[in-house]
Chain A
């Protein structure tokens, strides 16, 4: 039945062509025959690189090619945690720059990424974990990162909802406390970069898969796509999960294994958990999103797979430990589950920079630590492409480090990927 007073004015306004809905990202055009820079992959890292190429280096003839939809891969499948309390000086400096960029990102992009500083607690349940926490705290403080080792009395005061009882399988002995630890809306990060990059002239083409590379005399000349061949001056691959498959097109192998990483969220609850709680020993991380859902993740799957299926084994393992930390969640239901394909490297650091193919660059090895690095990856990869030389911050992450035995061991700081 129609309401007594039909708001015809409002209806007319709504259907009028004069006020079209605002689109952040313009509709796709035809592909051009050549671009200065082609970026394979349309996730956060790719879009950030496109943005910084245009903003910092004035390179706007850039094309982003995404096989599926924008930011639908690991950018959409992480648990949105941002922190810089790593173990090696190389790692700490790199992630600290990312955190610094994240802090101003909403202003920078004029796009609200819902950046929320929560405080990050890496719980320690063993003497070995206490030792690593102390080690990390000292390295962090030395490099100006706010990070310290705290003990059960302090943890109980800061996280009143945590179960601090000794009557559990793994009692909490201490924690590495990192006050700047944050969460952000992962989609907004990608959309913000995409919107601003396309305003500066970057073209974003979704539903456009790359099927091959055109390489002549050791130099990349273009890419074959599902919509035909396009020429390119420089090409970047930023395709977490599919890294080895795309690198094979370029003719080189990497020390990467593709392993699924699963996560899930609970039904929305009233806000009760301010902090980000992580336990490397229990393979758990949890935070409460601004929607009230508990975002929970665990360790990577026990074997490699190119698939984003979910398993019951994973949830049983994760939630068993979760109940030890937060026993009051016993009756809470799971709302959604998903998985991403993670590029695991032997030393738990990324692989970035130049490659054996000239003018071909790589941003990969983003195992379980990629989302937090989105801005700094964009900035440093844009620099690397613009100067054809690796940015100072990513020099230690060259693929060559494995062949020269100079790995950057971050296993002790990767929360749960082991």
Chain B
């Protein structure tokens, strides 16, 4: 079985992970039009090549980021989300 390196738990079978899709920056929902919000939610780059994605190690519910090549099925790099997201996103504060 294919093995993925979890930044928290080390190398694990790929069946322990769930794919979360490409990393995109969330727009401010209080200031975004419905159309732009739909763009953020639904539209995909669906890149053929190297992508940066969310993955989750299910047994530990640990979300992290992986870079992989979608043509060759190679996992290039995995690292904690904190390497990209430096500040905490406050969802509660965004209520209209």
Residues of A within 8 A of B (CB): 242, 244-245, 253-258, 302-307, 309, 311-313, 346, 402-405
Contact = CB atoms under 8 A, between A and B. Distances in A.
Interface in B34-85: 34-35, 38-39, 42-48, 70-73
A256 B19 contact: no
A253 B43 contact: yes
Interface secondary structure of A, over-half rule: loop
A256 B21 CA distance: 11
A346 B70 contact: no
Contacts of B35: 403
13 contacts: A245-B48, A256-B44, A257-B44, A258-B70, A302-B14, A302-B18, A305-B70, A309-B73, A313-B1, A313-B2, A403-B35, A403-B39, A403-B42
A403 B15 contact: no
Nearest to B35: A403
Contacts of A245: 46, 48
B11 to A, nearest CB: 16
Given A257-B21, A258-B46, A404-B38, 18 more contacts: A244-B44, A244-B45, A253-B46, A254-B43, A255-B42, A256-B44, A256-B46, A257-B44, A302-B15, A303-B19, A305-B73, A306-B71, A307-B70, A307-B73, A311-B2, A346-B42, A405-B34, A405-B38
A311 B70 CA distance: 15
Contacts of A242: 48
A302 B39 CA distance: 24
A409 to B, nearest CB: 13
A306 B48 contact: yes
A257 B46 contact: yes
B71 to A, nearest CB: 5
Contacts of B38: 402-405
Nearest to A313: B1
Given A313-B15, A346-B42, A304 B70 contact: yes
Contacts of B73: 305, 307, 309
A106 to B, nearest CB: 37
Name the interface size band of chain B.
20 to 34
B6 to A, nearest CB: 15
Contacts of B21: 257
A302 B19 CA distance: 7
A176 B73 CA distance: 37
Contacts of B45: 244, 253
Contacts of A306: 48, 70-71
Interface in B7-46: 14-15, 18-19, 21, 34-35, 38-39, 42-46
B43 A255 contact: yes
B71 A304 contact: no
B67 to A, nearest CB: 13
Contacts of B18: 302
Contact of B71 (A254, A303, A307): A307
A104 B47 CA distance: 40
A66 B72 CA distance: 23
Contacts of A257: 21, 44, 46
B43 A402 contact: yes
Instruction: Give the one of A255, A303, A309, A313 with max B CB within 10 A.
Output: A303
A326 B57 CA distance: 34
B34 A254 contact: no
B2 to A, nearest CB: 8
A403 B42 CA distance: 8
* Among B1, B44, B72: residue with most chain A CB under 10 A: B44
Contacts of B39: 403
A383 B49 CA distance: 35
Nearest to B19: A303
Nearest to B43: A253
Contacts of A405: 34, 38
A9 B45 CA distance: 63
A253 B71 contact: no
Given A253-B43, A402-B43, A405-B34, A258 B48 contact: yes
A304 B46 contact: yes
Nearest to A301: B19
A360 B42 CA distance: 22
A323 B6 CA distance: 33
A402 B70 contact: no
B64 to A, nearest CB: 14
Contacts of A253: 43-46
A411 to B, nearest CB: 15
Contacts of B43: 253-255, 402
